[in-house]
Structure 1
Amino acid sequence: MDKKVLFLDIDGTLVDDQKRISNDNKNAIDLMISKGHKVIINTGRPLFGVTGIIKELSLEREGCYVLAFNGGLLYEPLTKKILYKSTLSPELIKLVSSEAIKEKVHIHMFDEWDVLCESHWEDDDLRYYIGRLPGLKYKLIPDDDLSDVYSYKISGVDQSSKERLEEFGARLKCISDGRIDAFLSHSTLLEIVISGQNKGTGIDKVMEVLGIDKRHSIAVGDEENDIPMLEQAGIGVATKNATQKLKDVADMVTENDNNNSAVAEVIYKLILKDCN
């Protein structure tokens, strides 16, 4: 039996709207791993936003990895090693910060284990983002003191206007001469990364490490930042609750949504066909 590699988005896919993993999802994931298949978390979340899920799913096993920051960091829970990383330079961080101040768009940055925020951005938008991940804290850095700062990604937050975030992202791509990419991971969140960094390029890195042909990969997601992942995988799956743009590029759409164990549905239909 060919071994499959399952790439899972977290929010809106693996977890329900209350950020819980269903027992059906847990059991299906555990069973597929026991049969020799691989599970890879592929998320826009920072690494420190995945540690609880690593423990809950017992991913500290051989062949299990985490792609964090939309493909910007590849982490092996078993060895606790970072195998690959891609970060924004201080120059690009300064450019984004300057434009954010001008456009009045809240931003914050990320290293491996902290949210980094300039003092002038300690506001309601920051507290909104921090509140999305229980237990998350942030570290203030002095305003305009970015010379030694690196970041895997920058998040732009606007709770009132998706269009404003899209315009801000387009502006950043233009003034950076294509060195920056920007895309929505939620209607209120803009992800700003090095050009070419996305969940799809992350799949290439993992399959190379595992030595498995990409046609044996399956990717499941729900948001527009999952588009490269679904396009790159052997089979791309959109959850029932996914955006229409994602469904348009998917090979399959689940019958269940994230509140009804969509991940388990995918596992039993595409990987463990004889175990259900």
Structure 2
Amino acid sequence: MAYRMVFSDMDGTLLKSASELSEKNIEMVGKAVDQGVEFVICTGRGVYGVERFLEKLHLLGRPGYVICQNGAAVYNLENMEMVLKHSFSSDDLRPVVEAARAEGVEVYLYDDRTFLAEKVTPQVEAYCRVMHADMRILPDGLEYEGYFTKCLLSGSYEQLDAVRKRVEPIIAGKLNHFFSGPQYLEFVKTGVSKGEALRETAEKAGVPLGEVIAIGDSENDLSMIQAAGLGVAVANAQEHVKAAADYVTETTCEQDAVADVLQRFVLGEQ
């Protein structure tokens, strides 16, 4: 099978745990792109947390797309303009924010390049440093004048699971939710997922799903792993993600798992 598109998650997949992009991954992505393969980053991050890595991968300015906020926002690599946006209102989000406040977890809100937090905390400051995000403080995030593309809750797994159980029956049909890590619970508009974004992007490119690879490690990657012709879980992936994958790498994100996938299935070097 000749694969023409590769969709890759970032954190825990393409990047090492310290948000580092290895030279080997850069090299193998470059080789794949030179052979005409489209490499698509598909991440939960906002676009501001992705652009410096696109530059390192020499993808900026090329034809193609980058998928952000778990499929809620898609940008054209040639000019970094948003070409697809799935948003929801404060009214849709209100039960989530109220439940989060009751459990004492932090609430982060997103709209394109806007990152909103309700207060400054060490965790918020650390997040902004890692993501290169410009923070806007709004004591009541629900008073934001625009629409949201994503809500991220940060806390312990026990706190987040309590929020999830409390709001599930209320937000059904309005918001989709998933864990992107033990300490992060994310909400997007119903119907939005990495898998749906993969389908839409592959269709735009005229590439059948059977000629698509998707690589990930967490619950929010499941939909794209299941949608792709070849769904790959890296060795450090959550167990239920590995169980859903067609192939599990022998290497972790710390050991350049994405490069190994490209060498094996795209470049034919293994």
TM score, norm. by length of structure 2: 0.93
Q: Which residue of 2 aligns with 1:18?
A: 18
Match of 2:189 among 188, 194, 198: 194
Q: How far off its partner does 1:73 sit?
A: 0.9
Report which stretch shifted further, 178-187 or 142-151: 142-151
Identity of aligned residues (%): 29
For 1:87 and 1:204, the matched residues in 2 are separated by: 19
Provide structure 2 residue ranges, at least 5 long, that are not aligned to the other structure.
none
For 1:37 and 1:61, the matched residues in 2 are separated by: 16
Question: Does the CA contact (< 8 Å) of 1:111 and 1:151 recur in 2?
Answer: yes
Q: How far off its partner does 1:45 sit?
A: 0.6
In the alignment of these two chains, the number of paired residues is 270
Q: Which residue of 1 aligns with 2:124?
A: 126
Q: Which residue of 2 aligns with 1:167?
A: 162
> In the TM superposition, what whole-angstrom CA distance separates every residue of 1:76-114 from its partner, at most 9, and x where no partner exists?
121322111101212113332222223322211012212
Counterpart of 1:79 in 2: which secondary structure? coil
Change (3 A) 1:177 1:9: closer
2:28 is aligned with 1:31: no
Q: Which residue of 1 aligns with 2:178?
A: 183
Change (3 A) 1:233 1:190: same
Q: 1:138 is matched by which residue type in structure 2? A: M
Report which stretch shifted further, 146-155 or 200-209: 146-155
Question: Does the CA contact (< 8 Å) of 1:63 and 1:210 recur in 2?
Answer: no
Q: Which residue of 1 aligns with 2:4?
A: 4
Report which stretch shifted further, 214-223 or 84-93: 84-93
Match of 1:260 among 240, 247, 255: 255
> In the TM superposition, what whole-angstrom CA distance separates every residue of 1:193-239 from its partner, at most 9, and x where no partner exists?
11221110010110111011111000001111111110011100011
Change (3 A) 1:253 1:2: closer
Counterpart of 1:190 in 2: which secondary structure? strand
For 1:85 and 1:145, the matched residues in 2 are separated by: 19
Q: Which residue of 2 aligns with 1:154?
A: 151
For 1:261 and 1:183, the matched residues in 2 are separated by: 26
Question: Does the CA contact (< 8 Å) of 1:105 and 1:156 recur in 2?
Answer: yes
For 2:141 and 2:20, the matched residues in 1 are separated by: 38
Match of 2:265 among 228, 249, 270: 270
Provide structure 1 residue ranges, at least 5 long, that are not aligned to the other structure.
none
TM score, norm. by length of structure 1: 0.91
Question: Does the CA contact (< 8 Å) of 1:169 and 1:192 recur in 2?
Answer: no
Question: Does the CA contact (< 8 Å) of 2:94 and 2:142 recur in 1?
Answer: no
For 1:61 and 1:272, the matched residues in 2 are separated by: 23
Q: How far off its partner does 1:147 sit?
A: 5.5
Q: Which residue of 2 aligns with 1:223?
A: 218
Cα-Cα RMSD: 1.8
Question: Does the CA contact (< 8 Å) of 2:3 and 2:213 recur in 1?
Answer: no
For 1:170 and 1:85, the matched residues in 2 are separated by: 27
Change (3 A) 1:225 1:177: closer
Q: Which residue of 1 aligns with 2:91?
A: 91
> In the TM superposition, what whole-angstrom CA distance separates every residue of 1:11-67 from its partner, at most 9, and x where no partner exists?
011111221111111111001100101000000111111011111111124443110
For 2:134 and 2:258, the matched residues in 1 are separated by: 29
Question: Does the CA contact (< 8 Å) of 2:42 and 2:67 recur in 1?
Answer: yes
For 2:122 and 2:70, the matched residues in 1 are separated by: 25
> In the TM superposition, what whole-angstrom CA distance separates every residue of 1:234-259 from its partner, at most 9, and x where no partner exists?
10001111110110101101111111
Q: Which residue of 1 aligns with 2:53?
A: 53
For 1:70 and 1:96, the matched residues in 2 are separated by: 18
